[in-house]
């Protein structure tokens, strides 16, 4: 059994962005008797379309492909959402009972969610503490639109933790890790752009007009925000803490390499940790679990 690797990988400088030949990982990263964790591609709406159709590029299509590939039966039940342009770990229940249990965990803030993002910033993100911090704001949603309000007892709260993991020496771009304690719509994207003044690369919804980030040479339809890991509880009947790390998409990895930002190996290859331990065969057997990500 292995614990987390902490070494980093350094790459030679390359052009800011170039096409990649890396293959995207398969959709299913992990499954057991009760859940499946999928690797959501960019451009997929992470909720059912309500028509039971399996149009290529829909969530139903991914469900159908996964069911066939793994020889599973029954219906899948999404229990949370990722924004359409966001990639990464999407937790799905395999039974209605599991969906209820996971919904309870989300409601009680027992599910941990971590994101990685490449952001653009002209100045130091936080002069008083340049490496990490926590954002607490009021939150307002109206007809699908979101905005930040002063924090008081009459408004919903949005809480986002952030940490700088690396910064390019050639471009005003950094790799940030975000953790969220509240699951507000577009929370990370709005907090990054408005509070940190560091919009996520490719986020054309929340990047201010004429911001320098809009002129970086990246694809128009690509936002570099990735749901990198999700942690939840399973019972065997002993409680097990399951953490699934979703590999970064190939173009995210290549862009980071090109601009000189080092990546932890787990960010690139993903991984499965049970109670903080990787490759815990005994616990995995108890769960009836299978890791399908890169070995």
140 falls within a domain: no
What is the distance between the alpha carbons of residues 108 and 100, in angstroms, rounded to a whole number? 12
What is the distance between the alpha carbons of residues 100 and 113, in angstroms, rounded to a whole number? 19
Report the DSSP pairing between strands 87-93 and 225-235: parallel
pTM here is 0.86
Tens of pLDDT along 194-227? Answer: 999 999 999 989 888 877 777 777 787 899 999 9
153 falls within a domain: no
Question: 9 falls in which pLDDT band (50, 70, 90)?
Answer: very low
Q: What is the pLDDT of residue 179?
A: 96
121 falls within a domain: yes
Report the DSSP pairing between strands 290-291 and 28-31: antiparallel
251 falls within a domain: yes
- Total domains in the fold of the chain: 1
Q: In the block, which residue shows the tokens 């509240």?
A: 182
3 falls within a domain: no
105 falls within a domain: yes
CATH number at residue 278: 3.30.2350.10
E-strand ranges in the chain read 28-31, 35-40, 77-78, 87-93, 112-120, 132-142, 145-149, 156-167, 173-180, 225-235, 239-245, 271-274, 277-278, 290-291
Q: How many CB atoms lie within 10 A of CB 227?
A: 24
232 falls within a domain: yes
136 falls within a domain: no
What is the distance between the alpha carbons of residues 40 and 46, in angstroms, rounded to a whole number? 8
**Residues 20, 25, 27: CA angle, nearest 5 degrees:** 135
What is the distance between the alpha carbons of residues 68 and 28, in angstroms, rounded to a whole number? 11
The whole domain housing 38 covers: 28-126+158-291
Tens of pLDDT along 224-278? Answer: 999 999 999 998 888 999 999 999 999 999 999 999 999 999 999 999 999 999 8
Tens of pLDDT along 54-94? Answer: 455 688 889 988 988 888 888 899 999 999 999 999 999 99
What is the distance between the alpha carbons of residues 81 and 59, in angstroms, rounded to a whole number? 11
Task: State mean pLDDT over 3-18.
Answer: 42
């Amino acid at each position: 059994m292995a614990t987390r690797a902490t070494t980093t990988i350094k790459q030679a400088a390359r052009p800011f962005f170039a096409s990649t030949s890396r293959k995207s990982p398969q959709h299913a990263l992990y499954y057991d008797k009760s859940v499946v964790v999928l690797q959501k591609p960019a451009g997929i709406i992470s909720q059912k379309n309500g028509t039971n159709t399996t149009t290529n590029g829909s969530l139903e299509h991914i469900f159908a492909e996964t069911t066939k590939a793994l020889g599973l039966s029954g219906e899948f039940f999404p229990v949370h959402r990722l924004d359409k342009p966001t990639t990464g770990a999407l937790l799905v229940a395999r039974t209605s009972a599991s969906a209820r249990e996971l919904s309870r965990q989300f409601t009680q803030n027992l599910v941990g969610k971590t994101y990685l993002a490449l952001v653009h910033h002209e100045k130091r993100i936080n002069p008083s503490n340049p490496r990490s911090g926590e954002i607490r704001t009021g939150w307002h949603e109206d007809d699908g639109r979101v905005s930040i309000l002063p924090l008081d007892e009459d408004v919903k709260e949005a809480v986002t933790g952030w940490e700088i993991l690396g910064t390019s020496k050639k471009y005003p771009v950094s790799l940030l890790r975000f953790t969220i304690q509240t699951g507000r719509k577009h929370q990370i994207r709005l907090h990054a752009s408005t509070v940190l003044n560091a919009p996520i690369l490719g986020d054309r919804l929340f990047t201010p007009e004429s911001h320098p980030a809009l002129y970086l040479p990246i694809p128009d339809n690509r936002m570099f925000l990735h749901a990198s890991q999700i942690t939840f509880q399973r019972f065997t009947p002993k409680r097990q803490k399951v953490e699934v790390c979703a590999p970064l998409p190939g173009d995210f990895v290549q862009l980071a390499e090109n601009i000189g930002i080092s990546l932890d190996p787990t960010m690139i290859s993903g991984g499965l940790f049970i109670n903080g331990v990787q490759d815990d065969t005994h616990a995995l057997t108890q769960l009836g679990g299978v890791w399908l990500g890169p070995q």
